[in-house]
Amino acid sequence: MSGKIDLRDISRPGSEALIHLENKELMPLPAPLESEEKDHAWAALSEQCQSRYECGLDDTCAVNIPKPKSSDEEEQLVARFLSGLDKLFDKENNWTFFEPLLLTMEHCTGCQTCAESCHIFEASGRNELYRPTFRAEILRRLYFKYVKRGGLLSAWQHGDIHLNWPLVARLIELSYRCNLCRRCAQSCPIGCDNGLVARELRKLFSQEMGIVPREIHENGSMLQLEAGSSTGMTAEIVKDNVAFVDEDISERTGIEVHTPWDIEGADVLLIHNAGEIMAWPENPGAFALILTMAGVNWTMSSELAAYDAINYGLWYDDAQFARVALKHMEAAKKLGVKRIVIGECGHAHKALCVIADRILTGDLNIPRESYLPLLRDIVLSGKIKFDPTRNDFPVTLHDPCNMVRLMGVVEPQREILRALCPQFREMEPHGVNNYCCGGGSGFAIMSGNNFPDWRFHVSGRKKLEQILNAFAECPGPESPKYLCAPCSNCKGQFRDMITYYDLWQKNRIFYGGLVELVVNAMTDVKPGFIDWEWR
Q: Toward other proteins, which CB reaches closer, 86 or 387?
A: 86
Whether 497 contacts 397, CB under 8 Å = no
Question: How many residues form the binding site for other proteins (CB under 8 A)?
Answer: 94
- Scanning 207-215, 418-426, 441-449, 508-516 for contacts with other proteins by CB under 8 A, the matching segment is 207-215
Tell me if residue 339 falls in helix, strand or coil.
strand
Site track 215-234 with other proteins (rule: CB under 8 A), x = hit? --x----x--xx--------
Out of 322, 333, 448, 480, the only residue in the binding site for other proteins (CB under 8 A) is: 322
Taking the complex as a whole, the smallest distance from the CB of residue 498 to other proteins amounts, in Å, to 28
Q: Which of 28, 32, 68, 159 binds other proteins (CB under 8 A)?
A: 159
Applying CB under 8 A, which of residues 147, 174, 192, 483 lies at the interface with other proteins? 192
Q: Which of residues 330-369 bind other proteins (CB under 8 A)?
A: 339, 353-355, 357-362, 365, 367, 369
At closest approach, how far in Å is the CB of 392 from other proteins? 27
- Does position 459 interact with other proteins (CB under 8 A)? The reply is no
| Using rule CB under 8 A, residue 208 touches other proteins | yes
* Least CB distance to other proteins at residue 291 (A): 13
134 binds other proteins (CB under 8 A): yes
Cβ–Cβ under 8 Å, residues 129 and 6: no
Give 24 or 91: the residue with its C-beta nearer to other proteins.
Answer: 91
Residue number, 157 or 389, with CB nearest to other proteins: 157
**How many CA atoms, within 13 angstroms, populate the side-chain half-sphere of residue 465?**
21
Q: Segment contacting other proteins (CB under 8 A): 49-57, 86-94, 167-175, 465-473?
A: 86-94
- Rounded Cα distance, 404 and 401, in Å: 5
**C-alpha–C-alpha distance, residues 300 and 335, integer Å:** 10
Is the Cβ of residue 84 or residue 452 nearer to other proteins in the bound state?
Answer: 84
> Binding of other proteins at residue 207 (CB under 8 A)?
yes
For residue 513, the SS3 value is coil
Q: Pick one of 409, 485, 515, 517: the residue that binds other proteins (CB under 8 A).
A: 409
Of 138 and 249, CB closest to other proteins: 138
Check residue 432 for interaction with other proteins (CB under 8 A).
Answer: yes
Nearest distance from residue 40's CB to other proteins, in Å?
29
- By CB under 8 A, tell whether 58 contacts other proteins: no
DSSP state of 512: E
Question: Is the Cα torsion angle 285, 286, 288, 293 positive or negative in sign?
Answer: positive
**307 and 271 Cβ atoms separated by less than 8 Å:** yes
Cα–Cα distance for residue pair 327/271, rounded to 1 Å: 12
Q: Is 370 in the site for other proteins (CB under 8 A)?
A: yes
The verdict on 133 binding other proteins (CB under 8 A) reads yes
By CB under 8 A, tell whether 410 contacts other proteins.
yes
Report yes or no: 33 and 500 within 8 Å, Cβ to Cβ: no
Using rule CB under 8 A, residue 294 touches other proteins: no
Q: Is 292 in the site for other proteins (CB under 8 A)?
A: no
Burial letters for 403-425: b for 16+ Cβ neighbours within 10 Å, e otherwise? bbbbbebbebbbbbbebbbebbb
- Contacting other proteins (CB under 8 A), which of 18, 123, 271, 372? 372
Q: How far is CA 365 from the centre of its chain?
A: 25
Q: Looking at beta carbons only, is 21 or 212 nearer to other proteins?
A: 212
Q: In the complex with other proteins, which residue's Cβ is closer, 52 or 339?
A: 339
Using CB under 8 A, which of the segments 383-391, 409-417, 491-499, 521-529 binds other proteins?
409-417
326 binds other proteins (CB under 8 A): yes
User: What DSSP string describes 28-56?
Assistant: P--TTS-SGGGSPPPPPPPHHHHHHB---
Q: Which residues of 74-89 are buried (b: 16+ CB within 10 A; e: fewer)?
A: beebbebbbebbebbb
DSSP assignment letter at 386: B
CB closer to other proteins, 249 vs 515: 515
**367: cis peptide before it, omega within 30°?**
no
Site for other proteins in 246-275 (CB under 8 A): none
Of residues 499 through 528, those in contact with other proteins by CB under 8 A are: none
Beta carbons of 85 and 146 less than 8 angstroms apart: yes
Q: Which residues contact 3 (CB under 8 A, 6 or more apart)?
A: 19, 25, 125, 126, 127, 128, 129
DSSP code per residue over 198-242: HHHHHHHHHHTT----TTTIIIIIIHHHHHSSTT---HHHHHHHH
Q: Look up residue 67 and give its DSSP letter.
A: P
We find the least distance from the C-beta atom of residue 173 to other proteins, in angstroms, to be 18
Residue 122 found at the interface with other proteins (CB under 8 A) = no
**Separation of alpha carbons 43 and 369, rounded Å:** 42
Distant-in-sequence contacts of 528-535, Cβ < 8 A, 24+ apart: 529/252, 529/253, 529/282, 529/286, 530/482, 532/480, 534/499, 534/504, 534/510, 535/279, 535/280, 535/495
DSSP state of 526: P
Q: With contacts defined by CB under 8 A, name the span among 188-196, 253-261, 418-426, 522-530 that binds other proteins.
A: 188-196
Q: Give me the least distance between CB of 363 and other proteins, in Å please.
A: 8
Contact region with other proteins (CB under 8 A), list: 68-76, 166-174, 182-190, 248-256 = 182-190
* Residues in 89-118 that interact with other proteins by CB under 8 A: 91-100, 102-104, 106-113, 115-117
Tell me, residue by residue from 374 to 403, as one string, x for binding to other proteins by CB under 8 A and - for no binding: x--x--------------------------
Question: Taking a C-beta distance cutoff of 8 angstroms, is the pair 371, 270 a contact?
Answer: yes
Provide DSSP, 74-142.
Answer: HHHHHHHHHHHHHHHT-HHHHTTTHHHHHHHHHH-----HHHHH-HHHHHTTS-GGGSHHHHHHHHHHH
SS3 397: strand
84 binds other proteins (CB under 8 A): yes
Residue closer to other proteins by CB (options 127, 459) is 127
